[in-house]
């Protein structure tokens, strides 16, 4: 039961400092306290803490002082076992979060302040996708704080979430594809085909080994990414069928550049950064390619080509190795044939199947509103 203790009964403290100490018992039987100037305030506070303990939403005075910056550090500590690239990405987001909220207590962060933060980042010129990524990272941190009992409820919700800022991907033409291929260094030309026809991501292409390709069946088996790290998910390891013309290119490539990885320079594996640097250099010599074009955009070429050939969303999802069809639709829904035209054509078939007798009957009917002669 919560109680109030008079600290001034101690001769050493009489008349000094806050007089009334609210004392309450925690779930494990230990007691904790907080001092107040007014006795009634101390009593009500102690009773409120015991009510929170009974409801399972108790927050100790010590936990209430934890700052966002401290929680960010705890969050990153749990990320140390992640892949270096994943950790670096989290560190970039956390730096932006600390800049705004670092010194503030977790309990002081309100949804309105988060909305003001994302709005300010927009005004400062940050890309919508980056702002959304920072917000999602803050949401992760706040959810972790809630699980640890440091806050009662996360201030992040769909009501305050900024727009994801998806942009329609750039799809290069077939002519641009081959032009880009020809402008690449000879030992990296096959990388363009692996991106455009197998849908490999940059690190996957850099890590692809000769044993990951079945030249007879025309199958690519993505298993690792540079530098020989296992792919994260089973979906990422889905086998991809490729044209036999590509396997012929791979055979010729392996003869010229033998090595532990398909993409190599005198036997030394080629890292993703070298591939991206080569793409940046080559794209400048391909008419029409935008400044921001990158290796990853070759996957958009594969998706658009399959869609134009009549592939449905499940097929495109499988070839791009997306975890869900929603990801595929969110990225490429605008590339599927216009629904107005497709449904109009489908319904037109009903008229094409109309019996001749019905056509003649309609043609002989008087026009409503006119009198017969």
Closest CA to 207 of 192, 222, 185: 222
Q: 295-304: b or e for each residue (b if 16 or more CB lie within 10 Å)?
A: bebbbbbbbb
The alpha helices in 16-104, defined as continuous H runs, are: 39-55, 68-77, 84-101
Asked whether the CA dihedral 95, 98, 100, 106 is positive or negative, the reply is positive
pLDDT at 84: 81
Closest CA to 259 of 223, 294, 295, 228: 228
pLDDT at 333: 66
And the tokens for 56? Answer: 């399972």
pLDDT at 168: 61
Domain that holds residue 252: 174-334
Instruction: Indicate whether 211 and 263 sit together in one domain.
Output: yes
pLDDT at 189: 92
Helix, coil or strand: residue 125: coil
| DSSP H helix total and E strand total for the chain | 15, 10
Strand ranges, E, within the chain = 3-6, 20-25, 31-36, 213-214, 219-220, 224-225, 229-230, 240-241, 264-265, 268-269
Instruction: Indicate whether 201 and 135 sit together in one domain.
Output: no
Low-confidence ranges of the chain (pLDDT < 50): 367-373
CB atoms near residue 83 (< 10 Å): 13
DSSP state, 200? -
pLDDT at 45: 83
- The answer to whether 71 touches 154, Cβ cutoff 8 Å, is no
Instruction: Indicate whether 134 and 247 sit together in one domain.
Output: no
pLDDT at 313: 83
pLDDT at 165: 59
Residue 304, domain member (yes or no): yes
Residue 164, domain member (yes or no): no
pLDDT at 362: 58
pLDDT at 372: 47
What is the number of domains present in the chain? 3
Instruction: Indicate whether 136 and 199 sit together in one domain.
Output: no
- DSSP codes joined into one string, 167-196: -PPP---HHHHHHHHHHS-GGGHHHHHHHH
Instruction: Indicate whether 125 and 250 sit together in one domain.
Output: no
CATH number of the domain where residue 240 is located = 1.10.443.10
Residue 340, domain member (yes or no): no
Instruction: Indicate whether 253 and 205 sit together in one domain.
Output: yes
Asked whether the CA dihedral 155, 157, 159, 165 is positive or negative, the reply is positive
Residue 343, domain member (yes or no): no
pLDDT at 58: 67
**Which of 58, 83, 102 lies at the terminal end of a domain, its last residue?**
58
DSSP-assigned beta bridge partners for residue 225: 229
And the tokens for 113? Answer: 């302040």
């Amino acid at each position: 039961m919560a109680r109030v203790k008079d600290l001034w009964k101690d001769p050493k403290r009489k008349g000094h400092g806050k007089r009334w100490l609210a004392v309450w018992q925690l779930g494990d039987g230990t007691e904790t306290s907080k001092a107040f100037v007014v006795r009634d305030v101390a009593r009500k506070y102690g009773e409120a803490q015991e009510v929170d303990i009974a409801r399972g939403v108790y927050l100790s005075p010590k936990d209430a002082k934890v700052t966002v910056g401290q929680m960010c550090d705890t969050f990153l500590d749990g990320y140390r076992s992640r892949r270096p690239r994943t950790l670096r990405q989290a560190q970039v987001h956390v730096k932006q979060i600390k800049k705004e909220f670092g010194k503030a207590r977790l309990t002081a962060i309100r949804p309105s302040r988060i909305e003001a933060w994302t709005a300010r980042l927009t005004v400062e010129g940050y890309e919508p996708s980056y702002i959304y990524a920072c917000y999602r990272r803050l949401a992760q941190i706040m959810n972790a704080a809630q699980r640890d009992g440091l806050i009662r409820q996360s201030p992040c919700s769909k009501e305050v979430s900024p727009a994801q800022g998806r942009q329609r991907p750039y799809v290069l033409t077939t002519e641009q594809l081959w032009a880009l291929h020809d402008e690449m260094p000879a030992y990296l030309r096959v990388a363009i085909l692996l991106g455009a026809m197998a849908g490999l991501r940059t690190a996957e292409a850099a890590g692809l080994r000769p044993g990951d390709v079945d030249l007879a069946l025309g199958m690519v088996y993505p298993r690792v990414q540079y530098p020989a790290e296992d792919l994260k998910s089973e979906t990422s390891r889905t086998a991809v069928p490729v044209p036999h013309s590509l396997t012929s290119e791979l055979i010729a490539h392996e003869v010229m550049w033998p090595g532990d990885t398909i993409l190599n320079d005198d036997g030394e594996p080629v890292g993703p950064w070298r591939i991206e640097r080569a793409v940046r250099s080559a794209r400048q010599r391909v008419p029409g390619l935008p400044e921001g074009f990158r290796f990853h955009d070759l996957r958009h070429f594969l998706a658009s080509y399959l869609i134009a050939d009549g592939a449905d969303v499940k097929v495109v999802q499988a070839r791009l190795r997306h975890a869900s069809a929603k990801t595929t639709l969110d990225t490429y829904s605008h590339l599927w044939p216009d629904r107005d035209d497709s449904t109009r054509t489908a319904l037109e078939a009903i008229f094409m199947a109309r019996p001749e007798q019905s056509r003649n009957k309609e043609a002989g009917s008087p026009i409503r509103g006119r009198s017969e002669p």
